[in-house]
Structure 1
């Protein structure tokens, strides 16, 4: 198993950060790398629920995605299994810290070769994703 990790501190409460995750309209605004947009087809935000959506790149390329919400702990943690290629489990953890929330983002790949191939794309994309969350929290 190979895990790609990043973290970010936000000047918002864990409840405020969680609210930007659980609301599909808000999540669609910030999910993905810079310039991408999303079309959600299914969004069942509950343990065992499905999340089916298409990410659309700035050049119009469409990337179908399908995930399952494996665990949801209100204001604390969301575990998402990405069942489309590439397969991984994303754990988003929210910890209250002085001045706001520390968000930990851990993408665990079962196949180390897939993780290494995806690392060059995922590392900057994850940072851009968290930049977009920062903007959503500022506007939300």
Structure 2
């Protein structure tokens, strides 16, 4: 084999990664695929900032992001989804470029398995280095990113409900300043709105009032609004208070019905455990139940 042939061979690599994750399979899948969650764990280190320019995790959809490090040129990553089988497998291509020149192309296959509160992710990356050898950088980046993903999954709560109404109706009931306060919150709770602007960059400042009259100040800040598809927002303890979770809601048509997924990545694992302890899962499911009942009554 000539030195040129060896150099060509070095440009191709198959990399394999695996993670055992302390979270249910449905949670792992959401953390892997939901754009709001991907934005949290994608950066391989605190020195790197990842900015998502677009994200559409569906077959034929694509994701474009910029990796930014102070004093260095931005690195652009374009991802295209080729296969998305919920809870089972995803396949995407990935092209990394810098300065307008492609540095690598890769095919990324992820498979999922699990039972109970444990799940597993296996990732195979078939990498072609177009510039310098990218294998070492890819391995380092994926190892760090998957470590982040496992940590994020441990503090993520995912709630789902299938509502017997088209996505248009579910969306219009959720993203309507008149109707949202009427059903939001667990059984027995009501909402008192101070300000509401349900647009990207908008906010909802409100009090949730418990059955015993206890007032819980809330502040939602909306980062993304894609009509009839998804929203992403942050939850704060009172107006301009500390953030306690990044959240998203997605609306997926299933025949004439809509699967609503509500996800929350808590700021710390301790906050997640505290929320579970006071019944946040059950209370969140009650909230989705109130949405269902509200729609059915109209």
Category of TM-score, reference length = shorter chain: over 0.9
* Structure with greater helix share of residues: 1
Give the deviation of 1:37 after TM superposition: 0.4
Question: Is the contact between residue 47 and residue 72 of structure 1 (CA under 8 Å) also seen in structure 2?
Answer: yes
Q: TM-score, length-normalised on structure 2? A: 0.46
Question: Is the contact between residue 5 and residue 107 of structure 1 (CA under 8 Å) also seen in structure 2?
Answer: yes
Secondary structure at 2:169's aligned position in 1? Answer: helix
1:59 maps to 2:212: yes
Task: Please list the CA deviations of residues 48-91 of structure 1 after superposition, one character each: whole Å capped at 9, or x if unmatched.
Answer: 11110000001100010011011110011111201225610121
Q: TM-score, length-normalised on structure 1? A: 0.95
Instruction: Tell me the C-alpha RMSD between the 2 structures.
Output: 1.2
Alignment of 1:89-128 (within 5 A): 89-120=246-277, 121-128=279-286
Pick one of 179, 183, 203 that aligns with 1:26: 179
**After TM superposition, what 4+ stretches of structure 1 lie above 3 angstroms from structure 2?**
none
In structure 1, C-alpha distance between the alignment counterparts of 2:173 and 2:206, rounded to whole Å: 17
How many corresponding residue pairs? 140
Structure 2: which 5+ runs fail to align? 1-151
Task: Please list the CA deviations of residues 80-109 of structure 1 after superposition, one character each: whole Å capped at 9, or x if unmatched.
Answer: 201225610121000011231111111111
Find the structure with the greater CA-based Rg: 2
Question: Is the contact between residue 33 and residue 125 of structure 1 (CA under 8 Å) also seen in structure 2?
Answer: yes
Partner of 1:42: 195
